[in-house]
Structures are given as structure tokens and as C-alpha cells.
Amino acid sequence: MAPDYNTLLLAIGLAGFCLSATLFATWLSAKVERFLLCWSIGIGCIVPAVVVYGLYIERPTVVVGCLAFLLQFLGFSFIYGAAYRFRTGLSGRRRILGVFAACAILSLPWLIAGYDGLAFITLNVLITACLVATAHEYWRGRDEAPLPLTGIVILYLLTALSFACCAGVLIHEGRWVMGHAPDNWAENLNLIVAILGITGIGAMSLALNQWRVAGSHHRAAMTDALTGLLNRRALFDRYIGEPVTDHIAAIAFDLDNFKSVNDRHGHAAGDTVLKVFADVLRDVCETSACLARLGGEEFVVVLDRTLPDRAQRIAERIRMDFAAKLIPIGKRSITCTVSAGIAFGGDDSSSFDSLLSNADKALYMSKRGGRNRVSLAA
């Protein structure tokens, strides 16, 4: 091998080590995005693989070659697992193990049997498949952050293409048995592309992690921690300043006798009741409404572009479904009811504040009328 090739090997090893350490430190600081940990493990396996491959170049023995193959397969299996975990949130341990086992079974027998050229062809084809599968996982999850994820996909595909070129050259030359490591233009190109790919993907992965962390903090600030619905701040940020037309409706809800639930069964039971009611809201409204918890046992549903009879049907169904729920509290179950008030946009509700105020007035009418009912604003 030419000295330039050894220099490239050293460069990719150093780049991989630095990136693996950076990704691991980033994950360690928060321990939130575990795909970074998986990615750092994958790159961490590539580093010793480069070292062992350098030894194989100097002394091409079967044992050293098998070790270099296994470390590469392990690294790229973890890199694929990181992409799968990023998209799905699942650990993907079985997938990582399956990819690693399949790669080892398909390639090592050729190396052990003396067909080292065929083994290297299989190695490059399998790594190409791993990288394409990795790019596919990120492509499927690109809606989360289109620009950086598209860049990551392109870099993975370019790296995959460089490995495919390595296999293609060996096939074209008919190098089924070599007795040494591959030595051609495609190998040099592969190392150059791998160096660029590692640094580019690493930088974009770190940026993607920061984007996810910032998004998580923003969602936490705008979401009620107990029910997962929007909080008061998020609701007003969404509607304050927006025109309130006669096709918008607000339904205010207040759980009946909620204080007695806390007094008799404890605050944990009260939290359970609130979560059950939030689930009823989601089940009935699905994605057609804005759902928020204003605080305590007060909730609001805002319906855009709706007719009065539809708003009344939704409010009545929520009321009836919640009243029919058996809510498990310890070893027993309880039932609760809710009162509601509906207000519509128009001349009397020219702002979102006034719309909610009218809905609250209608809600108090339900409370005074005996609870567990729906009332319309005057």
C-alpha cells in the first residue's frame, strides 16, 4: 500500500475517535437522545476496525482479517441501529444483532476458505446495504427536520456508493483470490469519502440533537405535564390576535365536585380523573380541535370552522362519555361528571378573551342548573 493510503487510514481513525468521544460526551450531558449513544458506539467500533485493518495490510492473516471484518460489521450495525432508534424511539437491539450476524455469516466463510477477494467483495456489498438502510431510516423520518436529515441521507448514500465502487472494481478485475488487502483507486476514494461522511454526518447529528433538545424544551413549556394537553400559555399564544369569526366555538368544561374527589380519595385519584377526562377529549375530538387545560379541573375545547349544532353534539358526547367512564381508584372504581358551556364567535365575541368569557358564563349556567349538563351562551 502507498503511504498516502496509510495516512488516510490514520485520518479516518482520528476523525472517528474524536467524533465518537464528542457524541458520547453530548449524550452523557443529558442522557436523552439515545440514538447519539448508539451512533457513538458504532463509530467507536470503526476506530479499532481501522487499526486492525492497518495490521492486516502489513500481515494479511485470516485471524486479523476476520477481526477487522467483525469490527466493521459491528460498527455499521450500530450506525444502522442509531438511525432506527432516531426514527422510532425503539432500542433496535434485535435489528443490530440481526444485521451483525447476517453480515458475519455471509462474508467470513469466504475469508476462512481462502477466497479473500470474494470476502472483500461481500464485505463492501454488505456495508453498502447497511448504509443504504441507514439512509432510508433517516429519509422516513425527514419530516421532523427536512434540511439536516436530507443532508445526512445524501452523505450516507455517497459513502454507500464509495463502498459499492470498491466491490465493483474487484468484480470487474475478477479478484476472487488476492492474498493481500485490496489496492486500487476505489479504496483511496472510499477513505476520502468516509472521512468527509463521518465529519459531515457527525456535525449534522449534533445539530439535529440540539434542535431536538430545543424542541423538547419548547413543548414542555407549552404542554400541561399531567394530561399532555396544551396549557393556558400555549392556548393564548395560538389564538390571541387572531380574528374570532362566527364559525369558531369555545367549549369550557369544569369537572363537577372535583374537590370532593381529592378530599375523599386523595390527590393521586384526582390526577387520574383529570387524565381520564383528557383522554375522553382526545377520543371525541381527535384532531379536529384545540384542546387545553387551563388549570385545576378547568378545560377548554376550541373548534375552528364549525357550526353550532356540531359544537353542541361534541360537548354532549364528551359529557356523556365521561359520565359513563368507570375510573379505577385503588381497588374500586368511581364515576364523575362534567359541566360545559358553549360560546360562539360573532359580534359579542370579537376577541378570544371575550369568547372564553362567554363560554365561562354558559358554564356557570350549567353549574347553577344542577351540573352534568351543557349550556349555550346567551
Give me the phi and psi of 329, to 5 degrees please. -130, 100
Q: Say which amino acid occupies 173.
A: E
pLDDT number for residue 349: 56
pLDDT number for residue 1: 44
All structural domains of the chain: 3-221 (1.20.1070), 232-376 (3.30.70.270)
HSE of 37, CA atoms in CB hemisphere, 13 A: 13
pTM of the shown model: 0.64
Between CA 213 and CA 32 the distance in angstroms is 8
Is 58 assigned a catalytic role?
A: no
Q: What's the per-residue H, E or C state across 85-108?
A: HHHHCCCCHHHHHHHHHHHHHHHH
Listed residue (293, 277, 295, 292) closest to 337, CA to CA: 277
pLDDT number for residue 2: 43
Answer yes or no: are the C-beta atoms of 103 and 97 closer than 8 Å. Answer: no
Listed residue (151, 171, 147) closest to 159, CA to CA: 151
Kindly write down the DSSP assignment for every residue of 270-301, as one continuous string: HHHHHHHHHHHHHHHHTTSSEEEEEETTEEEE
The active-site residue, picked from 173, 297, 298, 316, is: 297
Strand partners, 223: 230
**Chain centre to alpha carbon of residue 237:** 25
**Residue in this structure with the C-alpha cell 479473500, named with its chain if needed:** 116
The kind and range of the H/E element at 253 are strand 249-255
DSSP state of 141: T
pLDDT number for residue 169: 94
Q: What is the full per-residue pLDDT of the chain (378 aa) written as tens digits?
A: 444 666 656 666 666 666 666 666 666 655 556 777 888 888 888 888 888 988 898 889 999 999 999 999 999 999 899 899 888 888 889 999 999 999 999 999 999 999 999 999 999 999 999 999 999 999 998 887 788 888 889 999 999 999 999 999 999 999 899 988 888 888 888 888 887 877 777 777 777 767 766 666 667 678 888 898 998 888 888 887 777 777 889 999 999 999 988 888 888 999 999 999 999 999 998 777 899 999 889 999 999 888 888 999 999 999 999 999 999 988 888 999 999 999 988 755 568 888 899 999 999 999 998 899 999 987
- How far lies 81's CA from each of 15, 21, 92, 98, 159, in Å? 21, 18, 6, 11, 17
